[in-house]
Structure 1
Amino acid sequence: MISFLFAASRNNVIGYQNKMPWHLPEDLKFFKEKTTGNTIIMGRKTLESMNGALPNRRNVVLTRNKDLSFKNIELIHDISTVERWNEENPGIEYFIIGGEEVFKQALAIADRMYITKIDEDFPGDTFAPTFDQMEWELTKKEKGLKNEKNPYDYYFLQYDRKNKLV
């Protein structure tokens, strides 16, 4: 299964100047729970925003640059590689975590989206993928904990693609 995993503001921002413009520890906890022990796929800029590979995960960077190399990072150069892995390994969930360009490339092959939707507008220069609501079904919605450390209203949403050919 190919899944998107990201947080987005009400105005669809996912980043600003290569950082998230909010801090939500509960969302980071959700991210860690979902991805630990799994494969995360990202673009180079997303990797750079994280300052290196995340522990206890297979870290994969999708890049056109064949001269790059990073410690503890696997490089791929075409989204079709992810599609092939998915076909060869049914039952494994591959998490695409950003950024904007990788989401655009992978939207047609995604099966599921985990979106933390923050009910707040933020300045941004990187945006979540837009998708046709008719092709997706909202299958889970859970309100996130709001407190002094998580100061925004936000929701954990899960969308599954309708009529996915198996």
Structure 2
Amino acid sequence: MCAEHQIKIQDSAMDNEKSEVKLIMIAAAGENDALGKDNALLWHLPDDFKRFKKLTTGHKIIMGRKTFESFPKPLPNRWNIIITRDPHYSLPITDGIVVHSMESALTLVAEDAQAYIIGGGEIYAMGMEVSHHIELTRVHGTFEADTFFPSIDSNEWDLVQEEYHPKDERHDYAFSYLRYDKKDTP
């Protein structure tokens, strides 16, 4: 088993090589791990939106139903995988699919080079066990929220990159881009 906990699947090729996917969680959370309230974000950070778009465009994205419904329209140029417990939930789009478990979602991304987990709180909690990287925008403030990002355990994750962005005329809050890598395990 690979040190990065890569999800391995049996390739259908005759040479029986393994293929791997890197799962990356991407989120913006306050200093108290606040993600949102009433199915809405708590801040408007244009540079963070641009970064999210740049990183996720062209990839499969895994999200919960509430996160999907919080967008005014489906995210373009991405394959949307929506996890819901509702067996009758259907999508009004053609570039996505509904699944009923994280395991089913992981099966759909198994042959990709990378895929992103984009929320919400319950989906991030499930993603902590299977992800290899976290791209976290830490918004410098404490917010009232009803949805939270799970705590990042420093015994399991290494902070490998940090970039500070000050408050300015377009951003009501200062924030930092943080990249975490899953630590190697025996």
Percentage of matched positions with identical amino acids: 35
Q: Which residue, out of 144, 164, 170, partners 1:143?
A: 164
Q: TM-score, length-normalised on structure 2?
A: 0.82
Q: Which residue, out of 132, 143, 147, partners 1:126?
A: 147
- AA aligned to 1:22 is W
Which has the larger helix fraction? 1
Deviation of the 1:103 alpha carbon: 1.1
Instruction: Indicate the residue corresponding to 2:58 in structure 1.
Output: 37
Which has the larger strand fraction? 2
Pairwise CA RMSD: 1.6
**More displaced, 26-35 or 136-145?**
136-145
Instruction: Indicate the residue corresponding to 1:84 in structure 2.
Output: 107
Separation in 2, partners of 1:83, 1:67: 21
Q: Which residue, out of 29, 50, 53, partners 2:74?
A: 53
Q: Is the 8 A contact 2:158 2:182 kept in 1?
A: yes
Deviation of the 1:85 alpha carbon: 4.2
Q: Which residue, out of 98, 103, 118, partners 1:75?
A: 98
Q: Is the 8 A contact 2:83 2:105 kept in 1?
A: no
Deviation of the 1:101 alpha carbon: 0.8
Question: C-alpha deviations, 1:40-81, integer Å up to 9, x for none?
Answer: 110010011113311111111011212111122311111112
Q: TM-score, length-normalised on structure 1?
A: 0.92
Deviation of the 1:13 alpha carbon: 0.3
User: SS of 2:40's equivalent?
Assistant: coil
Instruction: Indicate the residue corresponding to 1:14 in structure 2.
Output: 35
Separation in 2, partners of 1:82, 1:139: 27
Separation in 1, partners of 2:185, 2:88: 36
- AA aligned to 1:81 is S
Gaps of 5+ in 2: 1-21
Q: Is the 8 A contact 1:3 1:114 kept in 2?
A: yes
Q: Is the 8 A contact 1:53 1:71 kept in 2?
A: no
